Amino acid sequence: MIEQRLPFEDDEQAADLEWFQEWAAGIRWTFAKTVPDQPHEYWRAGADPDYPRLAGMIRRHGTSRSWPPATSELHGKVRPRPYRYLQVGDYEFGLDPPAS
């Protein structure tokens, strides 16, 4: 379970966090082997009925930055694109394709 609370200030945001913690704990995450200098895990959204809610949370509460970062071996080989990430404790959650 992800324990660290997000800096949410109202009941709607607190409900989002509670739902997200339960959702993330129940997902089967897969380590991404193709980008070893940028270790991360992913899950296959497929027909996940919770995907729209997750995407909405990341859009509302996340922050934007480009990927790949300048420190990646992919930098210069792959055109950087803006992504939104949601930071929860030591983890960041993003969407592919990017959530704009």
DSSP 20-55: HHHHHHTS--EE--S-TTS--EE---TT-TTHHHHH
Specify if 17 maps to a domain.
yes
Could you list the residue range(s) of the whole structural domain that residue 52 is in? 11-94
Specify if 74 maps to a domain.
yes
Q: How confident is the model at residue 1 (pLDDT cuts 50, 70, 90)?
A: very low
Report yes or no on whether pTM surpasses 0.75: no
Specify if 5 maps to a domain.
no
pLDDT digits over 40-67, tens only? 788 877 778 888 888 888 888 888 888 7
- Cα dihedral value 69, 72, 74, 77, nearest 10: 60
What is the C-alpha separation between 35 and 40, in angstroms, rounded?
Answer: 8
Q: How many domains does the chain have?
A: 1
Specify if 99 maps to a domain.
no
Specify if 20 maps to a domain.
yes
What is the C-alpha separation between 37 and 20, in angstroms, rounded?
Answer: 27
